[in-house]
Structure 1
Amino acid sequence: MTTTVDYAGVAGLAGTDLGWTEWLEVTQERVNLFADATDDHQWIHVDPERAAEGPFGGAIAHGFLSLSLTVKFWSELFDVTGVTTRVNYGLDKVRFVSPVKVGARVRGGAVIAEVTEIPGGYQFAVDQTIEIEGGGKPALVARGLYRFYA
């Protein structure tokens, strides 16, 4: 569920737990499209037959594919009205904790860790987790930085 707030009320949001998105299946098609977009066609991602004999027992998503989903999940969890521009400002820290096997379902969770006023807007530091359904450890943890300008 999306938490929507007006720009005038964002300063006090540090510590807000935004919860979790719906589950998303990571398909071989999505992995192949990502491989095409990044020219990363390593066999552990795009050759399911060979990957079945590899260290993960099957094809896995690229770590950066999992990371790119943080933007999708963040957008599903949070929105600010009354702004002119939204910017993905970068990352402070990323850890790829567990591989995501093709066919697995993942979802994103986020906690707003910090809200800082910047010229013309606010910067959010957001602790994000991508969880694997039935997994003991998350796929990744990251601190994303997002800016909202009035």
Structure 2
Amino acid sequence: MNPITIGSFEDFEKYNGLELGASDYFRITQNQINLFADATLDHQWIHCDPERAKAEGSFGNTIAHGYLTLSIVPYLWEQIVQVKNLKMMINYGIENLRFAQAVTVDSEVRLVASLKNVANLRGTVKAEVDVKLEIKDQKKPAFAGVLIFLYHFQ
């Protein structure tokens, strides 16, 4: 799927209330989990010790940090929407975020997004985007919530 190109408030407004699309699937590897653990100083065994996770854990394997799954949103979001003519973008907030299911190592995930609301705040565009991170071959998503972005166009 080709990403939607947005270059102004009016471009965003056309998609208000509509599904924007889905990213490609992305595999979560043990190496990525380990690097995230190093970056965040969160080396809990359920993430970083495959043998112990298989023997003692509830998921049969290591799992990705919840915040790791959230941190890949910018990469996946750019596969759905590419914003052009931009001075600056600010991650403004997250509402109603719920981690619904653990992402086990080597699972594939993808972002599905809908534009919940868009508003022009004196030249700054506030976009509220309903998102869910789907796990391939699973019914429940890894997480769901509303991401709020502020876009300052040129």
The TM tier, using the shorter chain, reads: over 0.9
- Alpha-carbon deviations, 1:3-28, whole Å to 9, x = none? 00221422343112111111111000
From 65, 70, 80, the counterpart of 2:68? 65
Kindly indicate whether the alpha-carbon contact (under 8 Å) linking 2:115 and 2:128 is maintained by their aligned counterparts in 1: yes
Kindly indicate whether the alpha-carbon contact (under 8 Å) linking 2:19 and 2:114 is maintained by their aligned counterparts in 1: yes
Kindly indicate whether the alpha-carbon contact (under 8 Å) linking 1:28 and 1:103 is maintained by their aligned counterparts in 2: yes
* TM-score of the pair, normalised by structure 2: 0.92
Give identity over the alignment, percent. Answer: 37
Kindly indicate whether the alpha-carbon contact (under 8 Å) linking 1:125 and 1:144 is maintained by their aligned counterparts in 2: yes
Question: Which consecutive segments of 4 or more residues in structure 1 shift more than 6 A?
Answer: none
Is 1:2 the counterpart of 2:3? The answer is yes
Is 1:109 the counterpart of 2:112? The answer is yes
- Alpha-carbon deviations, 1:50-77, whole Å to 9, x = none? 0002111110000111111222211221
Kindly indicate whether the alpha-carbon contact (under 8 Å) linking 1:97 and 1:140 is maintained by their aligned counterparts in 2: yes
Kindly indicate whether the alpha-carbon contact (under 8 Å) linking 2:24 and 2:79 is maintained by their aligned counterparts in 1: no
- Alpha-carbon deviations, 1:107-141, whole Å to 9, x = none? 11100100011233101000011001111211110
Tell me the distance in 1 between the aligned counterparts of 2:80 and 2:14: 17
* TM-score of the pair, normalised by structure 1: 0.94
Unaligned runs of 5+ in 2: none
Unaligned runs of 5+ in 1: none
From 80, 97, 100, the counterpart of 1:97? 100
Structural mapping, 1:1-150, within 5 Å: 1-7=2-8, 8-53=10-55, 54-150=57-153
Question: CA RMSD, aligned part only?
Answer: 1.2
Tell me the matched-pair count.
150
